[in-house]
Amino acid sequence: MSVHRWQLPLIFLALTGLARGQTIQVNPEKPAPVLPQAPSTSIKPYHPITDEQRLRWFVDSTVGPETLAVGLFSAGFGTARDAPVEYGPHWAGFGKRYGMRLTGVSTGNAMEASIGAIWGEDPRYFRTYRQPFKERVRNVVVMTFIAHNRYGALSPAYARYAATAGNNFLSNTWRAPSESNNKDATIRTLLGFVGLMGKNTFTEFWPDVQGRLLRRGPGR
């Protein structure tokens, strides 16, 4: 039986029982460890991610406005460069590139959400709270590679590592021949973390920019 590309994210989610709430729960009788000093300066106290929030993160990160907008830019840039060449520099090629990116994003997000659910890794990014600019930039960079566990402590984002690399190497099986090799998969993996850092930057600073624009008002 063959598996279509669009079915992969659903398979990853189903295998871990994400929708059924299979995430290991914290024992209420056992006090959580004291939150250590860590690079994250997000609002405390930390509340573990719920199954509903994890599923919402998957949906927002896959088909949310920001992700879809980035896909337009990515597909447009690839079409202008005609890369991969198999798709061609036309609207049909643009559509193929957009669909290919969306397939990769959905597969990677499904892997991160489902694998992380096993040990309680939280994929969400938390903005800093009353911190200077330097610390906010530091948080953007650090939180690209680490994540909160169910207690709020920070640890390497192993599910993210596995999902980013696994998705890009797995996609070699359905990508155009000119980019379905280990070198390109490695480059895509690195660019995946660069892209996540950019997304974290937007999440961290855009509310401030938006607030200033609203305070200025039109015509000021």
Average pLDDT over residues 105-116: 96
Beta bridge partners of 155: 147
Query: Is residue 151's pLDDT more than 70?
Result: yes
Domain presence at residue 112? yes
pLDDT for residue 205: 94
Computed over every residue of the chain, the mean pLDDT equals: 83
pLDDT for residue 139: 95
Domain presence at residue 214? no
Domain presence at residue 120? yes
Residue 26 binned pLDDT confidence (cut-offs 50, 70, 90): very low
As given in the structure block, the two tokens for residue 29 are 């009788």
29-38, 42-51, 53-62: least confidently modelled range? 29-38
Q: What single letter denotes the amino acid at residue 101? A: R
Q: Structure pTM?
A: 0.78
CA torsion 116-74-199-101 (nearest 10°) is: -10
Domain presence at residue 28? no
pLDDT for residue 46: 85
Q: Give me the domain span that covers residue 131.
A: 36-209
Q: Is-cis flag, bond preceding 28, omega within 30? A: no
Q: Give the residue from 123, 120, 97, 119 showing the smallest Cα distance to 110.
A: 123
Domain presence at residue 24? no
Domain presence at residue 81? yes
Domain presence at residue 159? yes
Q: 């992380």: which residue's tokens?
A: 116
Please tell me the number of Cα atoms within 13 Å of 134 on its side-chain side.
0
Number of domains observed in the structure of the chain: 1
pLDDT for residue 42: 61
As given in the structure block, the two tokens for residue 114 are 């489902």
